[in-house]
């Protein structure tokens, strides 16, 4: 090989090392910034109100971390309260962990319990390990085992689809139910 080939090869290697070195520094800075919470709260409590001044959603959490760059809040021991259009408590949903996205959807995981708070609620208690809620369309869903309980029945199945405003739920697969006569 000629001296000129060695020179171009050496310059190429130096350029590659320099490019790699500066590229990694930029990536580390961005990653560190993306995963630092913008605020951290303990014993967080908030209530959102509609235009008529009535509550429509409340949230409590033992610990919460908000990430602006990800548009999400991560919570430990979250409790979400959903209200009917007339401001009456309708659902109380809790879990071990939760995520709320700015796009108005939430995910609860680990020992998820939902309680129907209306006296005429068709579902008194809903239990699962995973529950997604879409607040814009008032829908909820799960792909895990779900148990529904009320004084009239107990049902379980895999997967759930429901409407929060109509207070309806549908078990999707492997459904078993027991009905009780008063």
- In angstroms, rounded to a whole number, what is the distance separating the alpha carbons of residues 128 and 154? 14
C-alpha dihedral (11, 14, 19, 20), degrees to nearest 10: 140
**Per-domain boundaries in the chain:** 1-35, 39-179
Per-residue pLDDT of 31-76, as tens digits, reads 555 578 888 999 999 998 988 999 988 999 999 998 888 888 899 9
CATH of 39-179, one of 2.60.450.10, 1.10.101.10, 3.40.50.2000, 3.30.310.80: 2.60.450.10
The angle at the Cα of 73, spanning 169 to 127, to the nearest 5 degrees, equals 30
Instruction: Please tell me the predicted confidence (pLDDT) of residue 18.
Output: 75
* Tokens 């939430």 sit on residue: 106
- pTM reported for the whole predicted model: 0.75
CA proximity to 171, closest of 152, 148, 138, 149: 148
Instruction: Please tell me the predicted confidence (pLDDT) of residue 127.
Output: 93
- The tens-digit pLDDT sequence of the chain (182 residues) is 677 777 777 777 777 777 777 765 444 454 555 578 888 999 999 998 988 999 988 999 999 998 888 888 899 999 999 888 888 888 899 999 999 987 688 999 999 999 988 888 788 899 999 999 998 888 989 999 999 998 888 999 999 998 877 777 888 888 888 888 76
Residues 6+ apart with CB under 8 A from 164: 82, 90, 91, 133, 138, 139, 140
């Amino acid at each position: 090989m000629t001296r000129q080939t060695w020179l171009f090869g050496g310059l190429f290697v130096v350029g590659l090392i320099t490019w790699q070195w500066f590229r990694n520094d930029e990536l580390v800075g961005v990653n560190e910034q993306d995963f630092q919470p913008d605020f951290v709260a303990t014993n967080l409590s908030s209530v959102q109100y509609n235009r008529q001044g009535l509550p429509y959603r409340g949230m409590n959490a033992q610990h919460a971390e908000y990430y602006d760059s990800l548009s999400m809040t991560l919570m430990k021991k979250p409790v979400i309260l959903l209200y009917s259009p007339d401001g009456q408590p309708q659902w109380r949903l809790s879990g071990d962990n939760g995520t709320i996205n700015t796009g108005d959807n939430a995910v609860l995981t680990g020992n998820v319990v939902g309680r129907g708070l209306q006296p005429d609620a068709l579902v008194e208690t809903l239990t699962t390990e995973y529950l997604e809620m879409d607040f814009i369309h008032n829908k909820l869903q799960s792909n895990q085992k779900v148990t529904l309980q009320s004084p009239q029945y107990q049902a379980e199945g895999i997967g759930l689809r429901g409407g929060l405003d109509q207070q309806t739920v549908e078990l999707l697969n492997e459904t078993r139910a027991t009905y009780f006569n008063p």
